[in-house]
């Protein structure tokens, strides 16, 4: 197996470089190469409609098995689509990168299968020929290890779409072979980076988005049953892995226990994928549920407006404003967030958390707080340590022992005791009314 490591510092540097380059004149515009990727990972061709931006977009993706620490102490194995790497280097990151193209572009996405299992790419929500639909056996044979296949289509319907592997989807989708695919409306000189590694903030907004919005975020939600994800790292023989993942593991009995936003759970979400805003701005949130549960997304202190469903615009007069949005499996919603103090859309500056309101899903394996909680962080509320300025220390949540259940969730002082006495234990108490079972956390 091939392991991938993300060099976060390099990527941050690249994001900033790409952003500045995007401001150049179109004829000189050249996409900044993502450090660690091959020169073929993204190649741009001709400007077919003569409007100042390239309309032939070629992207090469590999399939990489990667381990990531999603919250303190929890390393999870994922499979991701990653831009073609350079030598032994890859830029693999869960979720698979957000792909961005422009309406009218001739898009070629080449799946170069570097993995030990067959895969495909299903383009979900886009308009494309039937033989580009990526459904194994139905529209094409699955792409075998060592082979490649190019998905080719002209981008037609602008919006927030989805791409994912369609081979054995109850396993491959939930292992992380998922990413957002955005078709930007056609505009002159519409130059932007075509991949957003790890999703999150889109720094070089496309022209149409800039007409209406000040900031833009790509938010990919996932749910993980880590008992599935442990299999590939535990065995060496791909036949053994095939048998265990695809024929023994019963996905109908899965119980997701890790809940991710852009590949991270709280508290890492606060650091890696906060929603930074300023009063008076309009912020576009592109949201994809790449998991198998329905999420109920709640924005504290804010009432966003639903502008798009599955990439298609909701007509102006029909746009609902509320505070808990449904996002079912594979659905996409675009929200317009209006930070400020208008008292209808927003409550005023500060640090406002945003999360699935399924209470059991804002835990890390049953320990709260965790899961996909992030925060809407107003200008001036981000600290120098890269974390939002909040009321108390969050240190204990960065201690892996907390999510192993080894640290009391409340200060022992409130019980007139100490952590030491906590740890020394106390006499086992016989429950009043007799013993009973409840679901217990598994030891890691």
Q: What is the DSSP string of 39-83?
A: TTSEEE---TT-SSS--EEEEEEEEEEEEEEEETTEEEEEEEEEE
Kindly report the CA angle at 397 between 394 and 398, in degrees rounded to 5? 95
For residues 39 and 316, which CB has a smaller minimum distance to its own copies in the complex? 316
Strand partners, 215: 283
d(CA 95, CA 219): 10
Kindly tell me which residue out of 81, 117, 151, 192 binds its own copies, with binding defined by CB under 8 A. 117
Binders of its own copies among 368-397, rule CB under 8 A? Answer: 368-369, 375, 388, 390-394, 397
The yes or no reply on residue 420 touching its own copies (CB under 8 A) is no
Binders of its own copies among 128-167, rule CB under 8 A? Answer: 128-131, 133, 135-142, 144-145, 156-157
Order of strands across the sheet that contains 275-277? 275-277, 374-378, 351-356, 295-299, 324-327
For residues 250 and 384, which CB has a smaller minimum distance to its own copies in the complex? 250
For residues 28 and 247, which CB has a smaller minimum distance to its own copies in the complex? 247
Least distance CB 20 / its own copies (angstroms): 33
d(CA 273, CA 375): 8
The yes or no reply on residue 25 touching its own copies (CB under 8 A) is no
Least distance CB 383 / its own copies (angstroms): 13
The yes or no reply on residue 433 touching its own copies (CB under 8 A) is yes
For residues 35 and 185, which CB has a smaller minimum distance to its own copies in the complex? 185
d(CA 414, CA 21): 55
The site map against its own copies for 220-259 (x = CB under 8 A) is -------xx-xx-xxxxxxxx-xxx-xxxxxxxxxxxx--
The yes or no reply on residue 412 touching its own copies (CB under 8 A) is yes
**Cβ-Cβ contacts under 8 Å for 334 (sequence gap 6 or more):** 159, 160, 284, 285, 286, 287, 306, 307, 308, 311
Q: Are the C-beta atoms of residues 18 and 203 closer than 8 Å to each other? A: yes
The yes or no reply on residue 72 touching its own copies (CB under 8 A) is no
Kindly tell me which residue out of 292, 335, 339, 372 binds its own copies, with binding defined by CB under 8 A. 292
The yes or no reply on residue 429 touching its own copies (CB under 8 A) is yes
Binders of its own copies among 164-183, rule CB under 8 A? Answer: 168-171, 173-174
Least distance CB 44 / its own copies (angstroms): 24
For residues 272 and 310, which CB has a smaller minimum distance to its own copies in the complex? 310
- Asked if the peptide bond before residue 164 counts as cis, ω within 30 degrees of 0, the response is no
Handedness of CA 422, 427, 433, 434 (dihedral sign): positive
**Contacts with its own copies: how many residues (CB under 8 A)?**
133
73: left (phi over 0), alpha (psi -120 to 50) or beta: left
For residues 39 and 420, which CB has a smaller minimum distance to its own copies in the complex? 420
The yes or no reply on residue 398 touching its own copies (CB under 8 A) is no
d(CA 121, CA 114): 14
Burial class of residue 310 in the structure, from the number of CB atoms within 10 Å of its CB (0-12 exposed, 13-18 middle, 19+ buried):
middle
**Cβ-Cβ contacts under 8 Å for 300 (sequence gap 6 or more):** 352, 353, 354, 376
Least distance CB 207 / its own copies (angstroms): 21
For residues 41 and 351, which CB has a smaller minimum distance to its own copies in the complex? 351
The yes or no reply on residue 320 touching its own copies (CB under 8 A) is yes
d(CA 275, CA 38): 31
Kindly tell me which residue out of 17, 329, 382, 398 binds its own copies, with binding defined by CB under 8 A. 329
**Cβ-Cβ contacts under 8 Å for 425 (sequence gap 6 or more):** none
Nearest alpha carbon to residue 166 among 120, 219, 97, 103: 120
Binders of its own copies among 332-361, rule CB under 8 A? Answer: 343-344, 347-353, 357-361
The yes or no reply on residue 209 touching its own copies (CB under 8 A) is no
Least distance CB 372 / its own copies (angstroms): 13
Kindly tell me which residue out of 60, 187, 194, 365 binds its own copies, with binding defined by CB under 8 A. 365
Least distance CB 13 / its own copies (angstroms): 30
For residues 28 and 239, which CB has a smaller minimum distance to its own copies in the complex? 239
């Amino acid at each position: 197996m091939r392991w991938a490591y993300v060099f976060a510092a390099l990527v941050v540097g690249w994001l900033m470089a790409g952003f500045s380059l995007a401001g150049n004149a179109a004829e000189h515009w050249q996409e900044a190469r993502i450090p660690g990727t091959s020169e073929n990972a993204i190649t741009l061709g001709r400007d077919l409609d003569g409007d100042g931006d390239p309309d032939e977009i070629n992207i090469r993706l590999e399939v990489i098995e990667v381990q990531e620490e999603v919250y303190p102490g929890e390393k999870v194995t994922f499979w991701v689509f990653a831009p073609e790497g350079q030598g032994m280097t890859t830029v693999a990151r869960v979720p698979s990168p957000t792909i961005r193209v422009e309406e009218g572009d001739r898009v070629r996405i080449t799946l170069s299968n570097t993995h030990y299992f067959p895969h495909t790419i299903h383009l979900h929500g886009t308009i494309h020929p039937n033989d580009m639909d990526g459904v194994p056996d139905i529209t094409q044979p699955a792409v075998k290890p060592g082979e490649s296949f190019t998905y080719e289509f002209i981008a037609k319907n602008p919006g927030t779409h989805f791409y994912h592997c369609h081979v054995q989807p109850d396993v491959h989708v939930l292992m992380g072979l998922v990413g957002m695919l955005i078709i930007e409306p056609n505009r002159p000189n519409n130059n932007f980076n075509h991949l957003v590694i790890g999703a999150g903030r889109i720094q070089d907004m496309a022209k149409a988005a800039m007409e209406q919005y000040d900031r833009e975020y790509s938010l990919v939600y996932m749910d993980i049953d880590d008992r599935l994800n442990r299999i590939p790292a535990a065995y060496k023989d791909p036949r053994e892995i095939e048998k265990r993942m695809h024929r023994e593991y019963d996905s109908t009995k899965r119980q997701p226990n890790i809940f991710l936003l852009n590949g991270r759970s709280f508290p890492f979400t606060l650091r890696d994928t906060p929603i930074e805003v300023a009063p008076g701005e309009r912020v576009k949130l592109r949201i994809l549920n790449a998991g198998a549960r329905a999420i109920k997304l709640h924005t504290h202190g804010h009432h966003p407006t639903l502008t798009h469903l599955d990439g298609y615009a909701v007509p102006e007069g029909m746009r609902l404003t509320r505070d808990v949005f449904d996002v079912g499996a594979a659905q996409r919603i675009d929200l317009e967030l209006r930070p400020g103090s208008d008292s209808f859309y927003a409550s005023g500056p500060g640090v406002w958390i945003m999360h699935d309101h399924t209470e059991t899903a804002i835990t890390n394996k049953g320990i709260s707080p965790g899961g996909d909680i992030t925060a809407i962080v107003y200008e001036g509320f981000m600290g120098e340590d890269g974390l939002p300025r909040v009321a108390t220390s969050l240190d204990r949540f960065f201690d892996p022992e907390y999510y192993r259940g080894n640290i009391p969730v409340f200060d022992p002082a409130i019980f007139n005791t100490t952590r030491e006495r906590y740890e020394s234990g106390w006499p086992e108490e016989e429950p009043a009314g007799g013993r009973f079972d409840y679901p217990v956390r598994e030891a890691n």
